[in-house]
Chain A
């Protein structure tokens, strides 16, 4: 087994730090865009899933919790999770909710709606999150709305990932991760 650790083997710290920072200042949520844009750029221009394979902090976090800390039951992931309809269905649902989040941000930008200082968990449960909002004296309110929305997505997907990490294999989130499905599709349609 490979024992020599490389710098990118520590990226799980980045993932854990990102989730923690959202409890202190919601504006840190913007940093999560890195985890959205980098894998797409690598897939389009690098023609690989190097991001998933070596640089995804979340997968390392799940591996750490599930394999090193033995928090996973380590049972086989159900076969339907890897099916095309589930993976693409979840991607479609995820993107729909992402677009909805952008629309809510637009409504705040437009002045139609006010800023909602809440994090929506699993697209259902509204958690009051005022404690992490310290106002935007110099920047527009929509930037905070986007931060709340984006953090909701990141927290929700982490919670889903932790649930399947416990129930099945540690990295079972990777099977239906929307970013993973997207980058694999990009790689598959390329020559």
Chain B
């Protein structure tokens, strides 16, 4: 089974924090006011943050197999 994760484009993220407010797992946070980061172990890839992101910098992608 492949796991899905929210992936943030750090270069274009505006760090507004809209994603942090809707995440059901508290898996996404704004790192030092720079950009949003996903905690891959908590993210369930539901895509709610992707839908709310005003900058459109979040994509749901298949997690890399380690």
Contacts and interface: CB of A to CB of B under 8 A. Distances in A.
A47 B15 CA distance: 13
A82 B14 contact: yes
Contact of A52 (B17, B48, B52, B55): B17
Interface of A: 1-2, 43, 47-50, 52-54, 59, 63, 67, 74, 76-77, 79, 81-83, 87, 168-175, 177, 180-181, 183-184, 186-188, 190
B56 A77 contact: yes
B15 A52 contact: yes
Contacts of A50: 33
Interface in B33-56: 33-34, 48, 51-56
A63 B51 CA distance: 13
Interface in B15-29: 15-18, 20-22, 24, 26
Interface SS of B by simple majority: loop
A48 B14 CA distance: 12
8 contacts: A43-B33, A47-B33, A48-B32, A53-B30, A77-B55, A169-B54, A171-B16, A173-B54
A188 B34 CA distance: 5
Contact of B16 (A52, A76, A87): A52
A51 B31 CA distance: 14
Given A67-B52, A168-B54, A173-B54, 15 more contacts: A1-B22, A48-B33, A49-B17, A74-B51, A169-B53, A169-B54, A169-B56, A170-B52, A171-B18, A171-B52, A172-B54, A175-B54, A184-B33, A184-B34, A186-B33
